[in-house]
Structure 1
């Protein structure tokens, strides 16, 4: 006979150690049962998160395929325009990471109103970041000129960056709402919304790029406008879901935003480190994109296609990493160090295994994959030559993201950021530049730089998690 411990949330399975208040001890589990439970919960939470994250990138893949088949030059313009936008958006995602982590900590303590307060405090913060980053993206022309982009690329990419910038606030509002629901272990609404958005994106993208269905033919601008409109529709829809969900009163969702700056302090401080970390990593990859632009249109298009595939598969790693962060965060909220360590290691090893399996098609069929994105024989040949490196890049890049997410869930802030600084700013950019321009490897040199940096990152972060997960966890202070 099993008994559900008192204080467990409604629907919690018997003998389940999560969601209990601090004064209710969990039912002991044997080691193999704990591993099985973590794997089960990891995939249960990660699957909808992976689908939602994949949805974000599938829209970019659709843009790349449609625009790439429309015109290779237009694809190069769109890829370059995405460099500053993506860099700032991912920085914003990092700044808002505290929403998910602190929400999961509150769930671990079974404090629902505290979780709701985290969301209410961080919504105005997300809007503020979104407006600031919109202005910076709008003014991207100086970046293209400063990095030596050809005049033709600078002109067209600047116009596309202005269109993309309008969707920045919407993207960060959506991320804030999505992080809150994921911290509550309720990722399904974000997944369903993302699936619907992808169907709309496919039709509208094709229509506006090629002038189909009676819509104007706009080329790459059509893809940019489609992305911007969809980001705002998703933001408004997920915001409405949270405001109207049945349990909104349990979380105090409609209690207003008074004192949001003070109440968002812990989430902001956690986000500063995560934002700096993700911002540096994404900026480093943007620098590599700009290096590719200096090599010409073919190199920029090839790099963009390969990075689209890397980013697409990285969304799988990001979903698993987000689930790892929540799993570690809940154990951290309960002050259960062994369970926290187990959750982190399972998340890291599972992510690296899954990413290795996903790299196989790109390794064995690189030409076929490249042909999906372009009809240009030169672009296809160049892209196929670098796709064979993905079995090294996928597991290490995905693994470093899982490791850093586990560290964030455990409350570690600045050391992971320093490790990212070393790996991507101090290692990847110099190595990529040297191998590309000095050693003369061309686009392949950029990806060998990524290989080196990813190996450094995953090794350093795994060692750091081993250190952090072996320490006693301090008692929670009200």
Structure 2
């Protein structure tokens, strides 16, 4: 038995032979990390992809129903997605702190992370629901045409109903992923997508006895599905056989003080993701100023980027957990190796995924719409994806590795520089001043992503050389 030091720190657990690196054979360490990365990343990626596949289904069904409705839905998603992703960032500390506790083999601490995070999740959900409900004023002040502002505002109200559910699902999924148990989230996401496909088509076109609601039907489907997912995964966490080992039913008292470390990690991650998604939302609003065709084309291209980004996000989440577990063991060399393998693997996978979009952009555009003008504009930007995919995915893997290593605000500053001070002004200049139209927006994304991945990789090189501090138990 290991006795805890009297100064408030907790001694690290004895090395786990199954998890410890093999010092004599470095290639074994690389193979082990790749194996664990893909084992964890596969179900996480499927779950992340499922979130976007629902949006892709919305885009395809609504786009083939009505191009104007697609433009309204894309603009409505801009503030909703920005706030939802900010909320997911605020909750990132759940996965990180759970993985640290998992690395120390402290199950009660892992369960306490989840119990303290749930009330915080509900608080964030309530605030962000109110803000999304009021989105129409944002469309007006950013110069959206009256038709787009009015219809998009109505759709944003419907989408806001699903905001708390999206964040509840996220907290439960992050907790399970931190324990390296991502399968329940994946299964629930697959089932949700099957339901979404039927309900979406029914409510948009008025099939299967449902009313014909057009774009509103897609928005209602999204909110209903998010609540089904949230309640299902919440029920799984409460009923899991090992709930006693984690103390999951021990109540939520003292949650604000107990969630301090999770919140502090989340503030930095939330600010970072909030700035990035807000910057992309600004680009969507720029596209809206160019008219319905530009807004629809930008939305299609961004849907493909976001869909493939979910693969990167799955790999990045797995990277964060792998780095976090090594961090919890205070194994600095293994932590560094986990981070670099995650970054390089993510960039390689993303490049491979971009090749079909580069080779057959016209076929991809035809999946979403039959509008000739929208197709032509979409094709002109899809050919840039071999540059955007690896750099955008790589920066997410790098920032996840930094979060897993306990780095808080430096990655946020790098995101601020890349996406607020580089992407927005560059995209605006190329689009409106240089006259490049929608293509200028995506060149702005290219430049910002290159800046981001370079800066974050350098930062991880610095952080991964530092000693890992001893864990200090909460008092």
1:155 matched to which residue of 2?
Answer: 150
| Unpaired runs of at least 5, structure 1 | 1-5, 8-19
1:134 matched to which residue of 2?
Answer: 129
1:143 matched to which residue of 2?
Answer: 138
Instruction: Report the CA distance between 1:146 and its aligned residue.
Output: 0.6
- SS state of the match for residue 471, structure 1? coil
- SS state of the match for residue 473, structure 1? coil
- Structure 1 moving runs of 4+ over 2 Å: 23-28
1:10 matched to which residue of 2?
Answer: none
- The CA RMSD over aligned residues, in Å, is 1.1
* Equivalent residues, number: 461
Equivalents in 1 of 2:307, 2:385: separation in Å?
Answer: 12
- SS state of the match for residue 411, structure 1? coil
Go from structure 1 to structure 2 and tell me whether the alpha carbon gap of 1:348 and 1:24 turns closer, same or farther (over 3 Å shift).
Answer: closer
1:386 matched to which residue of 2?
Answer: 381
1:250 matched to which residue of 2?
Answer: 245
For residues 33-72 of structure 1, what are the structure 2 equivalents within 5 Å?
Answer: 33-72=28-67
Residue of 338, 347, 351 corresponding to 2:346: 351
Instruction: Report the CA distance between 1:21 and its aligned residue.
Output: 6.0
2:7 matched to which residue of 1?
Answer: none
Residue of 233, 236, 245 corresponding to 2:228: 233
Equivalents in 2 of 1:106, 1:28: separation in Å?
Answer: 19
Go from structure 1 to structure 2 and tell me whether the alpha carbon gap of 1:365 and 1:28 turns closer, same or farther (over 3 Å shift).
Answer: closer
Structure 2 residue 14 is the aligned partner of structure 1 residue 23: yes
Go from structure 1 to structure 2 and tell me whether the alpha carbon gap of 1:353 and 1:132 turns closer, same or farther (over 3 Å shift).
Answer: same
Equivalents in 1 of 2:256, 2:468: separation in Å?
Answer: 27
Instruction: Report the CA distance between 1:25 and its aligned residue.
Output: 6.0
2:397 matched to which residue of 1?
Answer: 402
Residue of 208, 216, 224 corresponding to 1:221: 216
1:75 matched to which residue of 2?
Answer: 70
Equivalents in 1 of 2:204, 2:454: separation in Å?
Answer: 43
- SS state of the match for residue 472, structure 2? coil
- SS state of the match for residue 407, structure 2? coil
Instruction: Report the CA distance between 1:476 and its aligned residue.
Output: 1.7
Q: Name the TM-score, length of structure 1 as normaliser.
A: 0.95
Structure 2 residue 442 is the aligned partner of structure 1 residue 447: yes
2:327 matched to which residue of 1?
Answer: 332
Q: Name the TM-score, length of structure 2 as normaliser.
A: 0.96
1:169 matched to which residue of 2?
Answer: 164
| Unpaired runs of at least 5, structure 2 | 3-10
Equivalents in 2 of 1:50, 1:447: separation in Å?
Answer: 25
Instruction: Report the CA distance between 1:78 and its aligned residue.
Output: 0.2
2:21 and 2:334 in contact (8 A); partners too: no
Equivalents in 1 of 2:254, 2:174: separation in Å?
Answer: 21
Equivalents in 2 of 1:211, 1:191: separation in Å?
Answer: 30
Structure 2 residue 305 is the aligned partner of structure 1 residue 310: yes
Go from structure 1 to structure 2 and tell me whether the alpha carbon gap of 1:243 and 1:25 turns closer, same or farther (over 3 Å shift).
Answer: closer
CA deviations 1:400-441 (Å, max 9, x no partner) are 000000000000000000000000000000000000000000
Instruction: Report the CA distance between 1:472 and its aligned residue.
Output: 1.1
Equivalents in 2 of 1:21, 1:253: separation in Å?
Answer: 24
Instruction: Report the CA distance between 1:28 and its aligned residue.
Output: 5.2
- SS state of the match for residue 218, structure 1? coil
1:278 matched to which residue of 2?
Answer: 273
- SS state of the match for residue 294, structure 2? helix
Instruction: Report the CA distance between 1:22 and its aligned residue.
Output: 1.5
Residue of 420, 423, 431 corresponding to 1:425: 420
Residue of 318, 325, 330 corresponding to 1:323: 318
CA deviations 1:33-80 (Å, max 9, x no partner) are 110000000000000000000000000000000000000000000000
2:12 and 2:330 in contact (8 A); partners too: no
